[in-house]
Amino acid sequence: MTEQTTIYTDGACKGNPGPGGWGALLVYKGVERELWGGEPDTTNNRMELTAAIRGLAELKRPCDVLLVTDSEYVMRGIQEWLPNWKKRGWKTAAKQPVKNADLWQQLDEQVARHNVSWQWVRGHNGHPGNEHADMLANRGVVSAKHRTSV
């Protein structure tokens, strides 16, 4: 059994759509690694997905991962909706294209590389890992805003 890596993820958006950021805090054997980034015109859901994708992609070999998110969209998507979307060729039950299918497909690829357990936490509720990821996501928003104003 390998040591478990914990990844705390969060997304943020100022306006929806608007400038957005994502953050991921990776913790392995007590060592923390911070990741963040942003986009000038995006949505909160896209940033939540990007945080999970980038956190998992950072792992260079297959790992046991606990991924902690405050996004019900990510949790329900990965656990409930994704299997049926794949069966229906990335269409919803209403036969509409899945929103953010590009990112869902990337997340599906990253999850397949690892043994991922998912945990949902209430956002902005004092959970240290989630608060840290939120701070990183907001750092990403700031970097995205600077790119749009230059």
Mean pLDDT, the chain, as a whole number? Answer: 94
What does the pLDDT read at residue 3? 72
Range(s) of the domain holding residue 55: 5-147
Residue 134 annotated as catalytic:
yes
Output the pLDDT for position 72. Answer: 97
Domain holding 49: CATH number? 3.30.420.10
For residue 62, whether the previous peptide bond is cis, meaning omega lies within 30 degrees of 0, is no
Q: What is the pLDDT of residues 44-75, one digit of tens each?
A: 999 999 999 999 999 999 999 999 999 999 99
Annotation says 146 is catalytic: no
3-state SS, the chain, equals CCCEEEEEEEEEECCCCEEEEEEEEEEECCEEEEEEEEEEEECHHHHHHHHHHHHHHCCCCCCEEEEEECCHHHHHHHHHHHHHHHHCCCECCCCCECCCHHHHHHHHHHHHHCEEEEEECCCCCCCHHHHHHHHHHHHHHHHHHHHHHC
Position 150 pLDDT exceeds 50:
no
Annotated catalytic residue, options 11, 21, 37, 38: 11
State the average pLDDT over residues 134-144: 95
Q: What is the 3-state secondary structure (H, E, C) of 121-145?
A: CCCCCCCHHHHHHHHHHHHHHHHHH
- The total domain count for the chain is 1
pTM of the predicted model as reported, rounded to 2 decimal places: 0.94
Q: What is the mean pLDDT of residues 111-120?
A: 97
The answer to whether residue 21 scores a pLDDT higher than 50 is: yes
Q: Which of 37, 48, 77, 140 is catalytic?
A: 48
64 included as an active-site residue: no
State yes or no: is 58 an active-site residue: no
